[in-house]
A and B are shown apart, each in its own frame.
Chain A
Amino acid sequence: GAVVSQHPSRVICKSGTSVKIECRSLDFQATTMFWYRQFPKKSLMLMATSNEGSKATYEQGVEKDKFLINHASLTLSTLTVTSAHPEDSSFYICSARFRDRGAVHYGYTFGSGTRLTVV
């Protein structure tokens, strides 16, 4: 099945520093990936849609200069939280769209998430 590997699983960083989160599709090519943010005991909130070879599409209210997304290859998308602050502490999750051979519709698979703590 389609597997997405997300790293790191946990990261602690100091305020003002930047953190990069990677999301790789292991056995398929992901032309489209999605980045979500999740607060404790809350649902997933879509931050942006990442398309290979083009600029990401950000949801309303998400700062694109704060959350840099790069999707330079068909198997890798990265989210960089720049100049991190404590309020950026959250659980970040990537998702990729895939389509099995012969299938009409797409399926969606998720990474295991990254717990970011900014101190």
Chain B
Amino acid sequence: GESVGLHLPTLSVQEGDNSIINCAYSNSASDYFIWYKQESGKGPQFIIDIRSNMDKRQGQRVTVLLNKTVKHLSLQIAATQPGDSAVYFCAELHNTNAGKSTFGDGTTLTVKP
């Protein structure tokens, strides 16, 4: 069956360092990927997305890389700040407009001051 998973359940980084959170997916038909941030007791917050016709997309302090050959997705956060501490989920959709997202298990990012 399909699955979306992250390589590491926890990641601890020093404030100011760059963070890299990885995600592997199994469905080669997936055409849309989203990274979400979830703080404790809150709903997921959209960070950045990427479509399957791209391999890189940049936002403010964040970059998402997509490697369709090995079905791998990563989220890079530059100059990580304490406010970045949260659980990060990757999600994939088969059809961008169908809306059914499959979420990975999440990586807990802890930023040490």
Q: In the assembled complex, which residues on chain B have CB atoms less than 8 Å from the CB atom of A93?
A: 43-44
* Total number of residue pairs linking A and B with CB closer than 8 Å: 54
B104 proximity list for chain A (CB < 8 A): 43
Interface footprint category on A: 20 to 34
Inter-subunit contact A110/B99 (CB<8 Å): no
- Nearest B-chain residue to A113, judged by Cβ: B43
Instruction: Classify chain B: how many residues form its interface, as a range.
Output: 20 to 34
Complex Cα gap A37–B97 (Å): 21
Q: Do A108 and B89 touch (CB < 8 A)?
A: no
Provide the B34-57 mask, 1 if CB < 8 A to any CB of A, else 0. 101000011111100101000000
Is A44 a contact of B89 with CB atoms below 8 Å?
yes
| A78 close to chain B: CB less than 8 A | no
Expressed in whole angstroms, the minimum distance between the Cβ of B23 and any Cβ of chain A is: 11
Indicate if the CB atoms of B106 and A108 lie closer than 8 Å.
no
Chain B positions 94-113 with a Cβ under 8 Å from a chain A Cβ = 96-97, 99-106
CB pair A49–B43 under 8 Å, yes or no, is no
